[in-house]
């Protein structure tokens, strides 16, 4: 029996310390390669650390809530001699990328569907971040057939055998002296299945049956306080999707905000300044007292943007991708940066560095605080690619899985305060950037069109700039360009 000592690793960006948030194992637990040992919080993100060893948990050396330096031994693992990074052949294999789909398919089967499965190839045990991904075999995808299609297959008439007429009844074996046996019917062909049976089932309100969804979505629902039994599923197999949970959480939050909590019994609450909150405070002070801010505002008729978003939502090209006015705003920012490159720069004591690429930051409010991940090389993305990148960024941030690399090297930022019902604000620059734009809420207001007052969707766009770099005329032209795209998205086709 050998003792392996697991030290706190540097999870990226040269971080020197992290806080132990929650242990996922206890002394005496049997663990496998890639099993999550502990959840840690760095100055920028929440990270789960997997085990590189197979064995039994020996001793947990650091308690939850303790901040330790990188390189500190935090846990010991007892294993057989030689069973460290190379797991024994009889150890349970690490879950592959298809495991969530497999669980979803199994749940669909329990709910009344049937599953046809191709044989799966064995997957080697590889610690996360190790091994050659190109040589790893992948599991063939399971095909889940809705129950309606299964019933249609069972009741469909069989095709007559070649060379003879179709039998009018069951055929018996006349050469046998024993009891007559019914010949098994020929397997139905795919053409025998009515198209309606294979169509995507219509969304229906939740019934008393089991909730079908993937484990990550169950965790998201738990974090957001959403009761999955009350969520209307819209997934392909009658499963609850991430969008269903987020929609339910948004609706429920309206009613939660109406409730007023009781006064706490403690007169004061003391919250340690550490982790993400500490970094936010340092960054905001540095930005506010280093870069002289100048702010501008403009009211915009966003009616055509709302119509454009509505068309994109029903477009087959954007099926399964979240589309919102933020997508048009992001594209407008990129277009305006190309016309006014000075806003996409950084000021140093020796020089001004203008960046001819856009790493577009999106300010995201998470349970752990405000973070600003960015979309790398956004200037090269199509509208569809940008929509997918925005959705991925938002989900990752909400789940607390944003990596330090995803929050570094931003060039310009959007903050969408409209989701909180705010008309506008004076945003503080993200440190190291020269511009930030705030998108306010979009709502119907009276607006003068061709001399007549009409109801239009109107928003207010605010922006702040580093006045050491961006002069007033450049800032005004940039904001006017952004506003022109929100007023007429067709300009993006130029």
Sign of dihedral through CA atoms 358, 287, 424, 394? positive
| Cross-sheet strand order for the sheet of 2-7 | 2-7, 73-79, 55-60, 30-31
Widest Cα–Cα separation across the chain: 103
Contact between 200 and 214 under an 8 Å Cβ cutoff? The reply is no
> Please, which residues have CB within 8 angstroms of residue 122's CB and are 6 or more apart in sequence?
93, 137
Separation between Cα atoms, residue 377 and residue 357, nearest integer Å: 6
Contact between 398 and 346 under an 8 Å Cβ cutoff? The reply is no
Separation between Cα atoms, residue 269 and residue 168, nearest integer Å: 83
Q: How many alpha carbons lie under 13 Å from residue 457 in its C-beta half-sphere?
A: 16
Q: Which of 464, 171, 262, 202 is nearest to 343 (CA)?
A: 464
Q: Which of 49, 209, 189, 194 is nearest to 128 (CA)?
A: 49
Does the active-site annotation cover 270? Answer: no
* Active-site pick, 143, 150, 293, 467: 467
Contact between 462 and 440 under an 8 Å Cβ cutoff? The reply is yes
Separation between Cα atoms, residue 47 and residue 52, nearest integer Å: 16
Q: What are phi and psi of 476, to 5 degrees?
A: -65, -45
The full DSSP string for 123-138 is -----TT-S-GGG---
A 10 A CB-CB count for 419 gives: 12
> Please, which residues have CB within 8 angstroms of residue 333's CB and are 6 or more apart in sequence?
358, 360, 412, 414, 437, 482
Q: Which residue has tokens 């930030």?
A: 436
The full DSSP string for 387-445 is HHHHHHHHHHHHTT---GGGGSS--EEEE-GGGGT-----PPPPTT-SEEEEE---EEE
Helix (H) or strand (E) holding 18: strand 17-23
Cite the active site residues: 467
């Amino acid at each position: 029996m050998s003792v392996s000592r697991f030290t706190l690793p540097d999870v990226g960006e040269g971080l020197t310390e992290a806080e132990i948030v929650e242990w996922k194992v206890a002394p005496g637990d049997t663990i496998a390669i890639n099993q999550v040992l502990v959840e840690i919080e760095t100055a920028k993100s929440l990270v789960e650390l997997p085990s590189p060893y197979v064995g039994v948990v020996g001793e947990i050396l650091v308690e939850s809530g303790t901040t330790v330096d990188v390189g500190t031994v935090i846990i010991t693992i007892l294993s057989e001699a030689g069973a460290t990074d190379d797991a024994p052949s009889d150890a349970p294999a690490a879950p592959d990328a298809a495991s969530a789909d497999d669980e979803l398919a199994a749940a669909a089967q329990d709910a009344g569907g049937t599953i046809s499965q191709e044989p799966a190839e064995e997957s080697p045990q590889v610690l996360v971040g190790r091994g050659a991904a190109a040589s790893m075999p992948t599991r063939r995808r399971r095909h889940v057939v809705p129950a309606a299609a299964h019933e249609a297959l069972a009741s469909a008439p069989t095709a007559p055998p070649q060379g003879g007429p179709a039998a009018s009844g069951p055929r018996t074996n006349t050469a046998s002296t024993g009891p007559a046996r019914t010949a098994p019917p020929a397997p139905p062909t795919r053409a025998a299945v009515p198209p309606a049976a294979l169509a995507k089932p219509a969304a229906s309100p939740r019934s008393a049956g089991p909730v079908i969804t993937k484990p990550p979505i169950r965790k998201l629902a738990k974090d957001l306080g959403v009761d999955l039994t009350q969520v209307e599923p819209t997934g392909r197999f009658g499963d609850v999707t991430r969008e269903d949970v987020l929609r339910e959480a948004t609706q429920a939050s309206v009613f939660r905000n109406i409730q007023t909590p009781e006064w706490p019994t403690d007169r004061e609450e003391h919250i340690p300044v550490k982790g993400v909150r500490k970094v936010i405070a340092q960054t905001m002070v540095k930005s506010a007292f280093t870069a002289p801010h100048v702010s501008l505002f403009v009211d915009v008729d966003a009616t055509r943007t709302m119509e454009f978003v509505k068309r994109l939502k029903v477009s087959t090209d954007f099926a399964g991708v979240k589309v919102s006015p933020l997508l048009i705003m992001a594209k407008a920012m990129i277009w305006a940066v190309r016309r006014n490159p000075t806003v996409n720069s950084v000021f140093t004591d020796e020089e001004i560095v203008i960046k001819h690429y856009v790493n577009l930051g999106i300010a995201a409010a998470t349970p752990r605080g405000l973070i600003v991940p960015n979309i790398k090389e956004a200037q090269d993305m199509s509208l569809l690619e940008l929509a997918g990148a925005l959705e991925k960024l938002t989900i990752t941030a909400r789940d607390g899985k944003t990596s330090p690399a995803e929050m570094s090297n931003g060039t310009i930022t959007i903050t969408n305060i409209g989701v909180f019902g705010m008309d506008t604000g004076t945003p503080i620059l993200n440190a190291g950037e020269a511009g930030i734009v705030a998108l306010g809420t979009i709502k119907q207001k009276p607006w003068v069109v061709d001399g007549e007052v009409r109801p239009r969707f109107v928003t207010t766009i605010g922006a702040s700039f580093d006045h050491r770099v961006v002069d007033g005329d450049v800032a005004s032209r940039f904001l006017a360009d952004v506003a022109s795209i929100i007023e007429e998205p067709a300009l993006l086709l130029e």
